[in-house]
Amino acid sequence: MRHLLEDENIDPFQIAQQAADQIADKSGVDEHQIALTLGSGWAKAADLLGETVSEIPAADIIGFSKPAVIGHGGTLRSIKLQNGKFALVIGARTHFYENHGVRAVVHSVRTAAKTGAKVMVLTNGAGGIRPEWAGGASVLISDHINLTASSPLEGANFVDLTDLYSKRLRAIAREVDSSLDEGVYVQFRGPHYETPAEVQMAKTIGGDIVGMSTALEAIAARESGMEILGMSLITNLAAGIQSTPLSHSEVIEAGQAAEARISKLLAEIVGKI
């Protein structure tokens, strides 16, 4: 089915505003201060953040579609944090590989900005290039390389991406866990995993993490004026770094094994933002 945001004649920012208005209406929360996209393995963090005051099926909100992949959630939750702030937890991610265009990919981020969020936390499950990250490391994203050959920005809109993944927020994360490593995230288009040669290329050009999300969302979040924290759960070592073939079930299982640990970590970090 064609996605609403594939219609070139509509204004994606207007749809994001409508989506934010619908969320305010249905949730009763006028303004969210922080938003989180929870990728593979991170979903349980929502339960630890605070008190859920509203949970809306994402498909009920304009511009959101049903999740394409089992294990990728599908709700928008408003959570009251202990410090009184409200978090919008996005459990519905549209991936670039779904072929609905980049506007659909970044709609959740633009909507989050319109709900008032000034901080965007982007999490994902990803492949690790550094062997020491075997076994489910969680890693702070320090920068990215966008290999999708696309951008969410339209027209001659020259947005600065220096310090895209906020140093301030990374420092807060390290206050919670000083052992957190950081690395450069390389977004491939997917949905196939990378070849070993592509992983070597990613390593050669400065990458540490390979995945299929996040970079395009981060660019849109910066355009919307948000501060960004990015975190990857290393669900597997990247193709050719590990000797065994990659599989989606391996990724899901690694996510489940790490879920309790990384959810607690993320909830503690969010509590300090």
Q: Which residues contact ligand HPA by CB under 6 A?
A: 125-127, 193-194, 210-212, 235-236, 238, 246, 251
- Residue 193 C-beta: closest distance to ligand HPA, Å: 5
Beta bridge partners of 75: 57
Closest to 62 (Cα-Cα) out of 2, 94, 100, 17: 17
Residue reference for tokens 């990247």: 238
Contact call for residues 211 and 239 (beta carbons, < 8 A): no
Residues 149 and 231: their CA atoms lie apart, in Å, by: 22
List 31, 55, 98, 194, catalytic entry: 194
- Consecutive H or E run containing 227: strand 227-237
- Residue 175 C-beta: closest distance to ligand HPA, Å: 28
Please identify, using beta-carbon distances, which residue of 88 and 251 lies nearer to ligand HPA: 251
Contact call for residues 69 and 63 (beta carbons, < 8 A): no
For 113, the token pair is: 């900005």
Please identify, using beta-carbon distances, which residue of 34 and 237 lies nearer to ligand HPA: 237
Residues 72 and 58: their CA atoms lie apart, in Å, by: 12
Which residue, judged by CB position, is nearest to ligand HPA in the bound state? 127
For 83, the token pair is: 């410090």
- Residue 188 C-beta: closest distance to ligand HPA, Å: 6
Using alpha carbons, list the distances in angstroms from residue 214 to 20, 108, 148. Answer: 21, 12, 11
- Residue 219 C-beta: closest distance to ligand HPA, Å: 18
Residue reference for tokens 């957190």: 180
- Residue 154 C-beta: closest distance to ligand HPA, Å: 27
Q: Is 194 a catalytic residue?
A: yes
Rounded to 5 degrees, what are φ and ψ at 122?
Answer: -110, 120
Residues labelled catalytic: 194
